[in-house]
Amino acid sequence: MTKIIIAIDGHSSCGKSSTAKGAAAKLGYTYIDTGAMYRAVTLYFHQKHISLTNESKVLKALDDINIEFRTDKNGKSLTVLNGVTVEDEIRKLYIANKVSQVSALGAVRKEMVAQQRKMGQKKGVVMDGRDIGSVVFPDAELKIFMTADPDIRAQRRQAELMAKGDLMSFEEVLENLKKRDHIDSTRKESPLIQVPDAQVIDTSDMTLEEQIEMVCIMAENEVKKLASAA
């Protein structure tokens, strides 16, 4: 059966990763969490005290980073950094506060994009991030741009953090999201943009199940188009 590349871009906490995971599982595709890759790099830089302004140290650190994805016995995707599972650590707020600055570095983006393109060579992948449709896979058969009201995104993010034991005020979480939005949208390297051929999904009033179902329908429609054109 024909398989395609599904590129999902959008702001943080609008449901990209959860939707991408769910759609991949339903379609029998591979899910690649690009955000987790940048978070893992951020964690490594933090652990090794890498200055973001020291280009030679950044390049050396990137050479020492190996990122993989594994699945646990419950089917949950785990991010593995140099052989160590870091899934929980990279979701903490101190990483969220630094990841936009790290991912704005040209050297970091170049290395991660190269790895992401390699992962998607055989198609049948769902990948989410900030520059998937614009930079990583500009020829993806299905491009989606997800968005949601900032207050709703902040509520969702706060609930995620609380579930993990991180107690943050709504104002702090909202400020973090706004800061990340600004950095992601204005950075020099691969800024977050909505490409002209992306289909927009506003998740403000949608359940996760509805988001997954919409992406699957869009994917099936693209596959049908390819089949009829063949």
Quickly list DSSP for the chain.
----EEEEEE-TTSSHHHHHHHHHHHHTPEEEEHHHHHHHHHHHHHHTT--TT-HHHHHHHHHT--EEEEE-TTS-EEEEETTEE-TTGGGSHHHHHHHHHHHTSHHHHHHHHHHHHHHTTTS-EEEEESSIIIII-TT-SEEEEEE--HHHHHHHHHHHHHHTT----HHHHHHHHHHHHHHHHH-SSS-----TTPEEEE-TT--HHHHHHHHHHHHHHHHHHHHHH-
Which residues, 6+ apart, have CB-to-CB distance to 201 below 8 Å?
A: 144, 145, 146, 147, 211, 214, 215
Which residues, 6+ apart, have CB-to-CB distance to 30 below 8 Å?
A: 24, 119, 124, 125, 126
pLDDT at 9: 95
pLDDT at 12: 87
If you count them, how many residues does the chain have? 230
pTM of the entire predicted model: 0.81
pLDDT at 1: 78
pLDDT at 88: 93
pLDDT at 141: 97
Q: What is the pLDDT along the chain (230 residues), one digit of tens a residue?
A: 789 999 999 998 999 989 999 999 999 898 988 889 999 999 999 999 999 999 999 999 999 999 988 878 877 788 999 999 999 999 998 999 999 899 989 999 999 999 899 888 889 999 998 899 999 999 999 999 999 999 999 999 999 888 988 888 999 999 999 998 998 899 888 889 999 999 999 999 999 999 999 999 999 999 999 988 87
pLDDT at 70: 83
pLDDT at 167: 86
pLDDT at 75: 72
pLDDT at 226: 92
Catalogue all structural domains in the chain, each as residue range(s) with its CATH number.
Answer: 5-224 (3.40.50.300)
